[in-house]
Amino acid sequence: MATNTPNLECRMYEAKFPDVDMAVMIQVKSIGDMCAYVSLLEYNNIEGMILLSELSRRRIRSINSLIKVGRIEPVMVLHVDEDKGYVNLSKRRVSEEDIQVCEDRYNKSKLVHSIMRHVAETMTIDLEDLYIHVGWPLYRKYGHAFEAFKLIVSDPDSIINTLTRVIKETGPDGEEVTRVVPAMSEDVKDALVKDIRRRMTPQPLKIRADIEMKCFQFDGVLHIKEAMRKAEAVGNLQCPVKIKLVAPPLYVLNTQTLDKEQGILILNKAIEACTEAIEEHKGKLAVKEAPRTVSEREDKLLSEHLAKLGRENEEVGGDDGSEEEEDTGMGDIDVENKGIGIIE
């Protein structure tokens, strides 16, 4: 299986050419007077052609508004010439449903291809050979290798150990014999499983909501503290809820979960519980930002902002015992105990 100069170029699917009336992902290479030349990304960049008359159902006013060099998009297969090795395509005949199916398939195939190519490169093996004995059998059995890779994350042996290859050897008597052996060596198997787990292990989503909470009653700080506890009590082990003070009266609720819909639902319930608790004491809660997923950058910016506020509070804390502090009365409650609030 290993060679000194492995081939790292290969189509994503077992078929060398796409079927007619199939949507495929292309990249535009050049635009001529009569047609645009493209490469089929899923089929090892074989050449395709789109007649300018197949760009749009409407009257074409500007070619550049319809197609540009470098653009990647789905188109429909009209005709395949396997002898000449090119494909006639149409942009105007692809429907919204076709586009959605094509994009979903391509995104999955691209990830599978990236993993397969990385394994072939690092283990110095032929990419097409890896596809023949591993990738394409998984496509046939599971509909898409992506579905098999998802199962490999948690139980690799049950998937990979079913893959075999037939080799021919010369026996002791000089006659040729065939043997069925595993599709991959243990080293290649370990590299494949490691790369799949690194690329496909689900990562928890961070869900966040921003609220404003106030209570003007006596012991308002304690009422806010209790409302925060009610909000956090809504969470569970799979979707824990945390609430933090940003700057009075602004608070953030956040959670981490693999299920986006479940995370948003939990935070909405936490907001409801918090609202009910604070309104019992004539307080008010306003949702400034509804529960939504946040990026690593947004989460980092929030953490940096909270850290900055913490440092500023420490600097102010050096004036303990001042007359001004005695006049204001209600101080901060320990953040760790979630008892932060202000009476205005």
- Position 26: which residue type? I
Please report whether residue 98 resides in a domain: no
Compute the distance between CA of residue 247 and CA of residue 312 in angstroms, rounded to an integer: 12
Give the pLDDT of the chain (344 residues) as one tens digit per residue: 444 678 999 999 999 999 999 999 999 999 988 889 999 999 999 999 999 888 877 766 666 767 889 999 999 999 999 988 889 999 999 999 999 999 999 999 999 999 999 999 999 999 999 999 999 999 999 999 999 999 999 999 999 999 999 988 887 777 888 889 999 999 999 999 999 999 998 888 899 999 999 999 889 999 999 999 999 999 998 899 999 998 889 999 999 998 899 999 999 999 999 999 999 999 999 999 999 988 767 767 777 777 776 777 666 555 444 444 334 333 444 444 444 443 33
Q: Are residues 128 and 46 in the same domain?
A: no
In this prediction the pTM is 0.66
- Position 184: which residue type? M
Among candidate residues 172, 200, 228, the one where a domain is terminated: 200
- Output the pLDDT for position 342: 39
Compute the distance between CA of residue 42 and CA of residue 74 in angstroms, rounded to an integer: 11
Please report whether residue 63 resides in a domain: no
For the domain that residue 239 is a member of, what is the CATH number? Answer: 3.30.70.1130
Please enumerate in sequence order all residues whose Cβ is within 8 A of that of 198, keeping only pairs 6 or more positions apart, or say none: none
Q: Are residues 23 and 54 in the same domain?
A: yes
Q: Are residues 245 and 287 in the same domain?
A: yes
Q: Are residues 29 and 128 in the same domain?
A: no
Q: Are residues 283 and 223 in the same domain?
A: yes
Residues spanned by the domain of 141: 103-200
Q: Are residues 111 and 186 in the same domain?
A: yes
Compute the distance between CA of residue 229 and CA of residue 129 in angstroms, rounded to an integer: 58
Q: Are residues 274 and 195 in the same domain?
A: no
- Are 48 and 88 in contact, with CB atoms under 8 Å apart? yes
Please report whether residue 293 resides in a domain: yes
Measured in Å, how far apart are the chain's first and last C-alpha atoms? Answer: 74
Please report whether residue 240 resides in a domain: yes
Q: Are residues 88 and 25 in the same domain?
A: yes
Please report whether residue 183 resides in a domain: yes
For the domain that residue 72 is a member of, what is the CATH number? Answer: 2.40.50.140
Q: Are residues 223 and 210 in the same domain?
A: yes
Q: Are residues 246 and 277 in the same domain?
A: yes
What is residue 161's DSSP assignment? T
Please report whether residue 343 resides in a domain: no
Please report whether residue 321 resides in a domain: no
Number of domains into which the chain is organized: 3
User: 307 vs 301, 303, 336, 340, CA distance in Å?
Assistant: 10, 6, 14, 16
User: 136 vs 90, 108, 178, 185, 338, CA distance in Å?
Assistant: 28, 14, 22, 18, 54
User: 241 vs 54, 180, 256, 284, 340, CA distance in Å?
Assistant: 53, 53, 8, 20, 16
For the domain that residue 187 is a member of, what is the CATH number? Answer: 1.10.150.190
Q: Are residues 304 and 220 in the same domain?
A: yes
- Position 65: which residue type? S
Please report whether residue 20 resides in a domain: yes
Q: Are residues 113 and 182 in the same domain?
A: yes
The kind and range of the H/E element at 140 are helix 136-142
Could you give the angle at the alpha carbon of 276 between the alpha carbons of 273 and 278, nearest 5°? Answer: 105
